Structures are given as structure tokens and as C-alpha cells.
């Protein structure tokens, strides 16, 4: 390999990602209701106790010890606006403390303004399908005013397409609707318009880059059948490209986890099945397909925007596959950089085992193992592998 392609670009961000509801503990939002109604395998409860500043600081120190220079977290709308239109300044102060701490410790910070959860009052009025959007924008404005000093990159919505799919087609996340195709389109349309409104609003108040955090899967046909190929490209367009094509942004955040090979069974009524993973799979059953990160990154070249991999990781309680997963994905990421995609950073999902939505605590995504009974932390061996790569800006990626 050309030596210039061995090293990642100067200033590359090596980070970890978390999300408020998955780590903070004791939240009170539409997901809490969903958990109480039995929608998830566990209740989120105390989670990783990150609302506790002391615990948060200790975990940030662990991230630092792993040579991380960037940290992605999300702000919990229901904490900042517990009642419609009312701002809780104490909650904003707490986030200010957290972000200030990260900055003091030398981290580049990314804050996502919406990561799946909604205040109860918003969900009760129809949520993303028909709930009122002005209070959401008010929350965004207040958060940006209060926190912009300590935020380097603003993320608008986390995985709008994933959220709409899980909540309105699969029914595994709130509001638990199944195969509600038209409402799902309405939700996506409202999310796209909201993203643009956020983009405009934040850009007026801040000079920090603003972008979407988009879920991208590598969609491939399991056969050369014409119908399968057509299906894969239609789904690729709908799930990967449509949202980006319809919205604005200063950068693109990409969450990449896996490949899906879809087979068209019947046109009417539409029936699709998923082929079994060809190779290794994670504890979630998701196929490990490192080349997919290259394919999705290359598909972003046309947007001519900086790209951050805002999530990538796997459920692997035994830590058997994590080190090779990280290495293999980073090698393909480096190839995407060599092929001209301006990738500026990589955030591993996640720093810690945390509350994995409908799967509760059963899926372990952490570089660090969390004991949820005692809040003890234990570094997994793969964390040291990632730390070695991060600490040398990728120079040790090929030493295995």
C-alpha cells in the first residue's frame, strides 16, 4: 500500500458515541412509557448513571485513557423541555457542565439534538406524525444558545429513517405502529422539513458545522435476478439517499453497522424476505460486512461534503469479534479516504454497554463492559486495540 494511504488525514477524529436515553438513567419520556408497557426487554432505569456528573467524568477519563480525541453525546429534549414550551435551565446547566468538562479535557465534541426519545407531552399529541413542531424548534434554539460555546459539531436528528421504520413499519419502537406506510411517509416528510428548519436556525446562531446523523445500510441483492436487483436499488435509494437528497447540511454523519440482502418474494401485496448472513454475525444477528462501510461512503461522494462516521460497532458480549471488526472497518474506511471521500472522523458505538432500545441490556456494544448492578466498568481487550489505532492516527492498523 502507498505509505501516504497508511495514515489517516491530519486532525482525524477518533471518538466514541453515546446517546442520552441509553446512558443517562432515570429519564422520563415516551421511551420510558414504552418500557413500562413492556415494549422493551428491560426498563432503562439507571442505565450507565451518566446524569451523575461524577460518573460521567470518570467515564470521560476512561475514554481519554483510550486515546480518544472526540466524543459524541445527545441532549435529552424531555429533560430540557419537560413541559410544552417550558425550559428547564438546570438541565441545560448540567449539559453545559458535561460539555465544558469534555472541552477542558481536550475533546472535540459532537452534540445530537434528537436521538429517538420525545417528551411525553409531544408523544401524547401525535409525536412525529402530528405533534406540534414549534416547541421542538424552541428547544433547539435554547440548547444552541446555551451550549454552543462547548459544541464543535451539531447533529440534528439521529437516524430519522430508522426511527420511522422501527416505529411505524416494524412496530418495535414507540409509537408501535405496524405496516403504517402512509403515516410513515408523513413522519419522514415532517422529519426532513424539521431537519432543514433546524439547519437554518442553528446556522443563524452558530458558526459550527451542522449535519444529519444518517443510518446507512449496505443493501445488496442476494441473487442476480432482475427483480432482486431492482428491489435492492429501490430500497437503497429510499433508505440511504432520499433523506440526504431532500435536505441541507454542512457535513454528513453516517451510522454504518451491517449489510442486508433483500429478496423480492411477491409484488402484490409486497413481500420481501431477508437472506441469511453469508459470513460472521454479531450477537444481534447482524452480518459483519466491513466492505459495506466503503460502499456507503463512496455513495456519499456526490454530495461533496465532509463526512463523519458517527456510529459503527457491534453487539459482542464475549469481545470475540470486536477487535477485528474495528480493524476491518477502519481499513475499508481508509480506502474510502484514498478514493476521495472526505471522511474526517470515526466514532465507535459505543464507549460503554448501555440500554439498547427494544433489546434492553441484552446487547453489549461497549468497548467497556458495564455491570449494571454495581456500575462497575471493565475495559474489554478490544478497547486497547482501538486505543492503539487511535493513538497512532491509524499507523498501527496493519500490525496484527
Active site amino acids = 159, 311
Binding of ligand FCB by 158 (CB under 6 A) = yes
DSSP 298-367: HTTGGG---EEEEE-----TT-SSHHHHHHHHHHHHHHHHHTT--EEEEEEE-SB----GGGGGGS---S
**CB of 8 or CB of 349, closer to ligand FCB:** 349
| Residue of minimal Cβ distance to ligand FCB | 19
Q: What are phi and psi of 13, to 5 degrees?
A: -90, 125
Cell numbers linked to 220: 445488496
Of 379, 285, 297, 384, the C-alpha closest to 346 is: 297
Q: Report the nearest approach of ligand FCB to the CB of residue 74 (Å).
A: 9
Task: Tell me how far apart the alpha carbons of residues 22 and 299 are, in angstroms, rounded to a whole number.
Answer: 30
String of contacts with ligand FCB for each residue 162-201, x by CB under 6 A: x---------------------------------------
Q: Report the nearest approach of ligand FCB to the CB of residue 304 (Å).
A: 25
Q: Report the nearest approach of ligand FCB to the CB of residue 355 (Å).
A: 9
User: Are 327 and 385 a contacting pair, CB within 8 Å?
Assistant: yes
- Of residues 152, 159, 228, 353, which one binds ligand FCB by CB under 6 A? 159
User: Are 100 and 53 a contacting pair, CB within 8 Å?
Assistant: no
**Cell 440511504 found at:** 240
String of contacts with ligand FCB for each residue 306-345, x by CB under 6 A: -----x----------------------------------
Residue 343, exposed/middle/buried by CB under 10 A (0-12, 13-18, 19+)? Answer: buried
- Of residues 49, 76, 220, 356, which one binds ligand FCB by CB under 6 A? 356
- Of residues 32, 117, 255, 312, which one binds ligand FCB by CB under 6 A? 255
Q: Report the nearest approach of ligand FCB to the CB of residue 311 (Å).
A: 6
Cell numbers linked to 235: 430500497
In terms of residues, how long is the chain? 400
**How far is CA 139 from its chain centroid?**
20
- Of residues 14, 95, 256, 357, which one binds ligand FCB by CB under 6 A? 357
Q: Report the nearest approach of ligand FCB to the CB of residue 10 (Å).
A: 28
User: Are 306 and 266 a contacting pair, CB within 8 Å?
Assistant: no
**CB of 295 or CB of 356, closer to ligand FCB:** 356
String of contacts with ligand FCB for each residue 259-298, x by CB under 6 A: ----------------------------------------
Residue numbers of the site for ligand FCB (CB under 6 A)? 19, 22, 158-159, 162, 215, 255, 311, 349, 356-357, 365
Amino acid at each position: 500500500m502507498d505509505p501516504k494511504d497508511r495514515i489517516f488525514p491530519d486532525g482525524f477524529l477518533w471518538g466514541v458515541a453515546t446517546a442520552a436515553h441509553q446512558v443517562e438513567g432515570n429519564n422520563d419520556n415516551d421511551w420510558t412509557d414504552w418500557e413500562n408497557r413492556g415494549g422493551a426487554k428491560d426498563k432503562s432505569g439507571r442505565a450507565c448513571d451518566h446524569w451523575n456528573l461524577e460518573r460521567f467524568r470518570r467515564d470521560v477519563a476512561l475514554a481519554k485513557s483510550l486515546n480518544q480525541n472526540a466524543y459524541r453525546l445527545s441532549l435529552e429534549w424531555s429533560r430540557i423541555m419537560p413541559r410544552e414550551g417550558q425550559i428547564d435551565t438546570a438541565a441545560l446547566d448540567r449539559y453545559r457542565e458535561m460539555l465544558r468538562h469534555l472541552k477542558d479535557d481536550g475533546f472535540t465534541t459532537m452534540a445530537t439534538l434528537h436521538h429517538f426519545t420525545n417528551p411525553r407531552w409531544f408523544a401524547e399529541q401525535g409525536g412525529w406524525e402530528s405533534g406540534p413542531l414549534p416547541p421542538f424548534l424552541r428547544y433547539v434554539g435554547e440548547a444552541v444558545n446555551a451550549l454552543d460555546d462547548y459544541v464543535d459539531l451539531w447533529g440534528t436528528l439521529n437516524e430519522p429513517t430508522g426511527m420511522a421504520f422501527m416505529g411505524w413499519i416494524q412496530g418495535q419502537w414507540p409509537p408501535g405502529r405496524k405496516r403504517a406506510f402512509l403515516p410513515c411517509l408523513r413522519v419522514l416528510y415532517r422529519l426532513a422539513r424539521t431537519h432543514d428548519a433546524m439547519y437554518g436556525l442553528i446556522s443563524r446562531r452558530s458558526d459550527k458545522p451542522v449535519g444529519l446523523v444518517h443510518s446507512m445500510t449496505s443493501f445488496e441483492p442476494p441473487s442476480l435476478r432482475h427483480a432482486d436487483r431492482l428491489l435492492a436499488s429501490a430500497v437503497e435509494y429510499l433508505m440511504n439517499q432520499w433523506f440526504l437528497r431532500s435536505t441541507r447540511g454542512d457535513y454528513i454523519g453516517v451510522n454504518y453497522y451491517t449489510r442486508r440482502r433483500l429478496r423480492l418474494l411477491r409484488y402484490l401485496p409486497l413481500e420481501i424476505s431477508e437472506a441469511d448472513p453469508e459470513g460472521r454475525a454479531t450477537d444481534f444477528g447482524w452480518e459483519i460486512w466491513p466492505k459495506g462501510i466503503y460502499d456507503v461512503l463512496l455513495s456519499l461522494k456526490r454530495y461533496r461534503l465532509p463526512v463523519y462516521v458517527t456510529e459503527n460497532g457491534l453487539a459482542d458480549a464475549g469481545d470475540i469479534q470486536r477487535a477485528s471488526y474495528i480493524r476491518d472497518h477502519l481499513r475499508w474506511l481508509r480506502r474510502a479516504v484514498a478514493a476521495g471521500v472526505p471522511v474526517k472522523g470515526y466514532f465507535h458505538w459505543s464507549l460503554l454497554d448501555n440500554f439498547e432500545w427494544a433489546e434492553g441490556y441484552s446487547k453489549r456494544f461497549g468497548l467497556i463492559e458495564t455491570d449494571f448492578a454495581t456500575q462497575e466498568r471493565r475495559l474489554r481487550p478490544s478497547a486497547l486495540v482501538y486505543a492503539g489505532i487511535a493513538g497512532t492516527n491509524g499507523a498501527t492498523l496493519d500490525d496484527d
